Amino acid sequence: MKNLFRTPIIMSAILIGTFSMPAYAQFEDGNPFGQLKGVLQNFEKELKKNTAPTTAENPPPPPQVVLPKKPSNSPKLDEVEQADKKKEDERRRLAEEKQRIEKARKIEEKRAVEEKRVANEKQQQAQEEARRAEEECLKLEEERRVETERQAASDRAEKKRIADAEAKEEERLKLERTRRAEEKRIAAIARAEKKRIASDKRRQETQRLIDEAQNETLPEWCPSGVSEDSAYREAIQRFNNKDYQRACNDLIDLHNYNDVRADYWLGKDIVFFRSFCAALTVNLKVYKDIRASIMDANGLTEPLQGFDSHYLYGATGAKMIERAARCGVADAQADMGRLYLNHQIDRFVLPNEKVAEIWLKKSAANKSKYGTYLLGLMAQNELIDGNQWDYYIKAADLGHLYSMQRVAENMYVGNKNLPQNRDVALIYLQILKNQKIDIKKRIWAKEFIQRFYKERVERR
Domain edges within the chain: 177-213
CA distances from 42 to 21, 80, 229, 285 (A): 19, 11, 201, 174
**The pLDDT value given to residue 100:** 82
Other beta carbons less than 10 A from residue 52's beta carbon: 11
**CA 136 from centre of chain:** 46
Tens place of pLDDT for every residue, the chain, 460 residues? Answer: 444 445 555 555 555 555 445 444 444 445 555 555 565 666 666 666 655 455 444 555 555 544 455 555 566 777 888 888 888 888 888 888 888 888 888 888 888 888 888 888 888 888 888 888 889 989 998 999 999 899 999 999 998 999 898 888 989 988 998 898 899 899 999 988 988 898 888 778 766 655 655 565 554 444 444 444 566 667 767 767 767 667 766 766 665 554 433 334 434 444 555 555 555 555 566 666 666 655 555 555 443 334 443 444 455 556 667 777 777 778 888 888 887 876 544 445 566 788 888 889 999 998 888 899 999 989 988 888 888 888 988 888 787 877 877 777 777 666 666 666 666 666 666 666 555 555 555 555 666 666 655 655 555 5
Give residue 242's region: left, alpha or beta (phi > 0; psi -120 to 50): left
Report the phi/psi class of residue 327: left, alpha or beta, with left for phi > 0 and alpha for psi in -120 to 50.
alpha
* CA-based R_g, the chain, Å: 74
Burial 110-120 (b: 16+ CB within 10 A, else e): eeeeeeeeeee
Q: How far is CA 283 from CA 56, 218, 279, in A?
A: 165, 19, 6
| Residue 5, pLDDT score | 46
Residues 6+ apart with CB under 8 A from 314: 269, 348
**CA neighbor of 380 nearest in space, from 370, 391, 369:** 391
Sign for the pseudo-dihedral over CA of 263, 267, 298, 307: positive
Helix (H, G, I), strand (E, B) or coil at 33: coil
Is the distance from CB of 297 to CB of 252 less than 8 angstroms? Answer: yes
Angle between helices 401-413 and 422-433 (to 10 degrees): 150
Residue in 122, 134, 283 with CA at minimum distance from that of residue 213: 283
d(CA 169, CA 161): 12
Q: Residue 11 carries which side chain, given as an amino acid letter? A: M
State how far the Cα of 168 lies from the Cα of 36, in Å rounded to an integer. Answer: 130
Query: Could you tell me the sign of the dihedral formed by the alpha carbons of 267, 299, 291, 249, in that order?
Result: positive
